[in-house]
Structure 1
Amino acid sequence: MGRRDFLSRASVGGVAAAAGATLAAPAIAQEAPTINWRLASSFPKSLDTIYGGADELSRRLREATDGKFNIQVFAAGEIVPGLDAINAATDGTVESAHSVGYYNWGKDPAFACGADLPFTFSARAKAAYNYYGGGIENYNEFLDKYTLVSFPGGNTGVQMGGWYRREINTAADLQGLKMRISGLAGRILQKLGVVPQQLAGGDIYPSLERGTIDAAEWVGPYDDNKLGFQKVAPYYYYPGFWEGGPTVSFFFNKPKFEGLPENYKSLLRTCCQAVDQSMLANYDTKNPTALKELVGSGAQLRSFSEDILNASFAASNEVYAELMTENESFKKQYEAMLQYRDDWYLYAQTAEYTFDTFMMIQQRNGKLRPGGAQ
């Protein structure tokens, strides 16, 4: 082949390749449509770690699709009140919500199973159950009747047991205690004589200060530190057994979700899982420092006594027995959780528990660092 023939054919080939690229562009564009959704959060922007989970999902999707899949996040109250976020996704007011299932406890107790049930899982156990124990599938089977699809979207880890104006040493001390707590946990503690109170976050501090309530649960050190509860209710108890591994979830209107291209569905699930693990790591990083700050400013740490924990555990089982006779969807999910929990705690007491316990002992003895320096 002569030089002139080669150049001629190369030019023709180059034009053809360019034309092919031009022709391919519309097909690629069709595979990546522009999607614009709105998301109603149940949280105010001031709770940056929980609220931030929705912002993180939005950012990840936008970056992964070159700006073609956009979710605009609205804080609690901007479109609907925070406690109505899930309902807004159900009725199509918004395409998605970021919330906690037990906020819809009053609508259907089975909503709580996707969030947390007292004395069930830690955050790590809940993640294992969700992703490999059928938890996500079980929850979505229930949510189908509410026109929803849901994926985990965050976890705080074991929460604290709340702030108290006086010490609580035995189950008898709970009699008549007016406590800001709601939902399933409120129903359980009510069996022990607690008088549950439903209050918005902004009303908790003045109610404690005036003595209108005797105690209040919120989240954990990082979020609690912003509200100054230690000034009016100094006794800070743990653990919050009603939220051992509370899962925050993304809820999507099912017709909207099903209308997504398959690659967008896959990407959405992947980004939700990333946010789920990211939030837990964020809390695990921020809570230790916040707890030291709280103690330094007057908080008095107390652990719930065995008497209180045992009485609460028994009351929980009573409530679960009642709910299983009242609600088939709750029963199906709870029984699946029980089966998974049996094996989880059988294993958890071996390597992980032993290692962590040993390291905690070294920390308390001032031996974690070489030479004993802390």
Structure 2
Amino acid sequence: MSRRSLITTGAAGALGSAALAAPAIAQSAPKIQWRCTSSFPKSLDTIYGGATDLATFVREATDGNFDIQVFAAGEIVPGLQAADAVMNGTVQMCHTAAYYYVGKDPTWALGATVPFGLNARGMHAWLNYGGGNDLLNEYFNPQGLHYIQGGNTGTQMGGWFRKEIKTVADLNGVKMRIAGLAGQVMGKLGVVPQQVAGGDIYPALERGTIDAAEWIGPYDDEKLGFVKVAPFYYYPGWWEGNLALNFFINNEQWNSLPKNYQSLLSTAAKASTLEMLSEYDYKNPAALNRLVAAGAQLRPFPQDVMNASFAAAQEVYKGINATNAPFKKIYDSMVEFRAQTYLWQQVAEYTFDTFMMLRQRDGSLKPQNG
């Protein structure tokens, strides 16, 4: 069965089972054309592909009646203006990462990821079953936006540095491209955070405009060539235990859709989320090996950096919670679930994964010959 057959067959069946009369079909599957602007360039095929996958799923499930055209960053608006283009009606929807817009309000970050938050499985569970989607739409709807998750990268790497980081003191004065609330946390450790779109990171590193940069992980980082200009490759990206990408849909456009199209969009977005996470999980291991062969010096963040970062993050949250009621409401919901999910994952997932990682280290997981 092809990767798209389940959603295509299921959605088409749902549309076709209601009635066979032409007028009924026309009412249930009207011809609609939308534009979706992405925050990402086409060269980053996996993350950009979250939008093209959704468009393909929807187009195939409606026999082309619901056609969503996807435009790369810069083709309609710059990548970091995607949400604004939806709010002002330039396009019907966008594919982006909500934390790009923390300059509007830090609450936006909770639709993507926050430092020392959830991993991908925890994020999916909280959004879909823990009330996260409803809380986020309670916040975004009055701003003219409907929020739907549209991808996840999994836990990200900690980024590329020109110089080795041995202690917290080594971070002082480092100009680093870093997104979301992580910039505020890093700022407490002496880092000078920079907001730079994905396609502009390499030239900024090459020119020395920035000293370090985080993006996603090995597969995309290899494509962007960071190993050529900043050899020290750190992990983990504690500010991105997951990254939930998302679709923002103009709220008026969303409300005008037939209910079956709303359902199809939501289902297609879930499918594109699984596609993206699966693709990264498949492609990152080989890319990491290639990067190390190309000269990347793999380093874990020192424990004192991790501890200082966690403490700084709690200071940031305390300050925001004291003055921002919408943030606190959503954050408290996420944090309550965070304690539960990590307890459960520690019991089963972590124990199994640790055992298997030890077997990987001693070579026991290699294919057996004969």
TM-score by length of 2: 0.92
Greater C-alpha Rg? 1
Code of the aligned partner of 2:316 = V
Query: Alignment partner for residue 326 of structure 2, among 318, 326, 329?
Result: 329
Query: Alignment partner for residue 146 of structure 1, among 121, 132, 143?
Result: 143
For the Cα contact (< 8 Å) 2:107–2:326, is it kept in 1? yes
In structure 2, relative to structure 1, the CA distance for the partners of 1:147 and 1:209 (3 Å cut) is closer
Query: Alignment partner for residue 224 of structure 1, among 207, 221, 226?
Result: 221
Matches within 5 A, 1:38-77: 38-77=35-74
Question: Percent identity over the alignment?
Answer: 60
Paired residue secondary structure (1:186): helix
Matches of 1:248 and 1:231 in 2, distance apart?
28
Instruction: Tell me the CA shift for residue 90 of structure 1.
Output: 1.5
Matches of 1:370 and 1:58 in 2, distance apart?
39
Matches within 5 A, 1:219-368: 219-368=216-365
Question: Which residue number in structure 1 is paired with residue 9 of structure 2?
Answer: none
Matches of 2:251 and 2:44 in 1, distance apart?
28
For the Cα contact (< 8 Å) 2:234–2:298, is it kept in 1? yes
Question: Which residue number in structure 2 is paired with residue 85 of structure 1?
Answer: 82
1:191 maps to 2:152? no
Please give the per-residue CA displacement for 1:209-228, whole angstroms capped at 9, x wherever unaligned. 34332211111100000122
Please give the per-residue CA displacement for 1:190-245, whole angstroms capped at 9, x wherever unaligned. 00111112333344334333433221111110000012221221110000111111
Paired residue secondary structure (1:226): helix
Please give the per-residue CA displacement for 1:61-108, whole angstroms capped at 9, x wherever unaligned. 011111111111111111111111111111211111101001111112
Code of the aligned partner of 1:254 = N
Paired residue secondary structure (2:34): strand
Query: Alignment partner for residue 99 of structure 1, among 93, 96, 100?
Result: 96
In structure 2, relative to structure 1, the CA distance for the partners of 1:23 and 1:308 (3 Å cut) is closer
Question: Which residue number in structure 2 is paired with residue 31 of structure 1?
Answer: 28
Please give the per-residue CA displacement for 1:136-172, whole angstroms capped at 9, x wherever unaligned. 1111110011111111100011111011111101112
For the Cα contact (< 8 Å) 2:114–2:180, is it kept in 1? no
Code of the aligned partner of 1:183 = G
For the Cα contact (< 8 Å) 2:79–2:197, is it kept in 1? no
TM-score by length of 1: 0.91
- Give 4+ residue runs of structure 1 displaced > 4 Å after superposition: none
List alignment gaps of at least 5 residues for structure 2.
1-18
Paired residue secondary structure (1:97): strand
Question: Which residue number in structure 2 is paired with residue 215 of structure 1?
Answer: 212
Matches of 2:345 and 2:20 in 1, distance apart?
57
Please give the per-residue CA displacement for 1:222-273, whole angstroms capped at 9, x wherever unaligned. 0000122212211100001111111000111111111111111111111111
Paired residue secondary structure (1:70): strand
Paired residue secondary structure (2:183): helix
Question: Which residue number in structure 1 is paired with residue 178 of structure 2?
Answer: 181
Matches of 1:138 and 1:103 in 2, distance apart?
19
List alignment gaps of at least 5 residues for structure 1.
1-21
Paired residue secondary structure (1:350): helix
In structure 2, relative to structure 1, the CA distance for the partners of 1:359 and 1:205 (3 Å cut) is same
Matches of 2:210 and 2:341 in 1, distance apart?
37
1:161 maps to 2:158? yes
Matches of 1:40 and 1:303 in 2, distance apart?
36
Instruction: Tell me the CA shift for residue 317 of structure 1.
Output: 0.5
In structure 2, relative to structure 1, the CA distance for the partners of 1:264 and 1:49 (3 Å cut) is same
In structure 2, relative to structure 1, the CA distance for the partners of 1:259 and 1:203 (3 Å cut) is closer
Instruction: Tell me the CA shift for residue 370 of structure 1.
Output: 6.0
Code of the aligned partner of 1:198 = Q
Matches of 2:199 and 2:52 in 1, distance apart?
23
Matches of 1:50 and 1:131 in 2, distance apart?
21
Please give the per-residue CA displacement for 1:273-328, whole angstroms capped at 9, x wherever unaligned. 11111100010011011100000100010001110001000000100011112211
In structure 2, relative to structure 1, the CA distance for the partners of 1:107 and 1:370 (3 Å cut) is closer
Matches of 2:128 and 2:97 in 1, distance apart?
18
Matches of 1:207 and 1:114 in 2, distance apart?
27
In structure 2, relative to structure 1, the CA distance for the partners of 1:250 and 1:362 (3 Å cut) is same
Matches of 2:20 and 2:300 in 1, distance apart?
68
Code of the aligned partner of 2:323 = E
Question: Which residue number in structure 1 is paired with residue 6 of structure 2?
Answer: none
Paired residue secondary structure (1:154): strand
